[in-house]
Amino acid sequence: MGANWKTTAAGVGAILGAAGGLVTMFSKGQVDGTLFMTDLGIISAGFTGLFAKDHNVSGGDVRQ
């Protein structure tokens, strides 16, 4: 986790942005199914960014 700061930052940003949208939606009491599912998809894509490899690694790690 956190192998590349660029993908990690993008992942954290996506997760925080979508989580903020969910909190706003629930606090207003106006839950929209489409926006809810969109935010869940963005959160799962954000987790992909957290675990992404560096751009110059094809297999194991940089030491190979």
Confidence at 51, pLDDT banded by 50, 70, 90: confident
Tell me the per-residue pLDDT of 2-21, one tens digit each, with 9 for 90 and over: 667 888 889 999 999 999 99
Distance of CA 3 to CAs 37, 39, 59, Å? Answer: 28, 25, 14
User: What's the predicted TM-score (pTM) here?
Assistant: 0.77
Residues 64 and 55: their CA atoms lie apart, in Å, by 14
Q: Which of 1, 7, 2 is nearest to 55 (CA)?
A: 7
- Per the domain annotation, does 57 fall within a domain? no
- Per the domain annotation, does 18 fall within a domain? yes
Query: What is the secondary structure of 11-45 as a DSSP string?
Result: HHHHHHHHHHHHHHHHHHT---HHHHHHHHHHHHH
Residue 38's domain spans which residues?
5-50
- Per the domain annotation, does 36 fall within a domain? yes
Total domains in the chain come to 1
